[in-house]
Amino acid sequence: MKKVFKLYPESFYKEKANEAFEQGMEQITDGEYGKAYYCFLDAIEFDPNESKYLFFAGLASYYFQEENATSYFEKAAIMSMEEVDYQMWYGISLYRDENFSEAKKVLLYAYNLDDNNEKVIHYLIKVLNRLEEYEKVKDIIEKCVGEDNATPEMLYELGYSYVKELEFKKAEKVLLKSIDSDPQNVMSYYILSRTYCKTGEFDNAIEILQKLEKEVPAEKELVKSNIEAIGLLKSF
């Protein structure tokens, strides 16, 4: 990053930073995350002490598939400790990096700031599942949203936790609810099919995959290979 020599009053650099930031926001609106990323870098050069420039550099970097998104989110989160979105995206980026232990700490902090934030709850339970803390997944959904108000994605994660703990009937219930809430929620079909296979209900496993194929035709080839595998299981 180039060093900006302070040849002009501070207000000059702040104005330049804001101009670059506004350009970046326009690029984000147009979905041009790569161009936005470099605009935000310019803004940071002119004013490195403004947390929103760091945050949006992280956001553009995240969608631009740059590896340094997490470092920008971290800096923004440290500078603005009470900004829930900054903490949340730092946690999400850590999750994408598969740094689940650190993601858990950050997302728990975000959750303490706002325990009604659905996206925070969603990623927190995803992290807890990856850390095999299944009971905590159930507790958070029960205490925060309840099964009836949980999003299809939350229900998938809850179903996943039940499967891992061999509570197959409970898994079936919430995964069916996930599918009913969002027939396009592909992963719920697959894990429900696996659940049926674990309980020896192979016809149900095939039936739920056939339903997936009707709802999401793009899954046709993968559904076909899964049904063939289930056919082999049935033959034993």
**Do 109 and 87 contact (CB within 8 A), yes or no?**
yes
157/127 Cα distance (integer angstroms)? 10
* Distance from C-alpha of 210 to C-alpha of 191, rounded to nearest angstrom: 14
Radius of gyration for the alpha carbons in the chain, expressed in angstroms and rounded: 22
> Is pLDDT at 16 greater than 60 in this prediction?
yes
Q: How many CA atoms lie within 13 A of 98 on its CB side?
A: 0
pLDDT tens digit string along 64-83? 887 889 999 999 999 999 99
Higher-confidence residue of 147 and 37: namely 37
Q: Could you give the CA distance from residue 62 to residue 13 in angstroms, rounded to a whole number?
A: 26
Question: What domains sit in the chain, N to C, each tagged with a CATH number?
Answer: 1-80 (1.25.40.10)
The set of residues, in sequence order, having a beta carbon less than 8 Å from that of 201 and lying 6+ positions away, is none
pTM: 0.86
* Pairwise CA distance, residues 225 & 220, whole Å: 9
> Could you report the per-residue pLDDT of 100-142, keeping only the tens digit for each?
999 999 999 999 999 889 999 999 999 999 999 999 999 999 8
Q: What is the pLDDT of residue 24?
A: 95
What secondary structure does DSSP assign to 111-126, as a single string? HHH-TT-HHHHHHHHH
The helix or strand, by DSSP H or E, that contains position 141, with its residue range, turns out to be helix 134-144
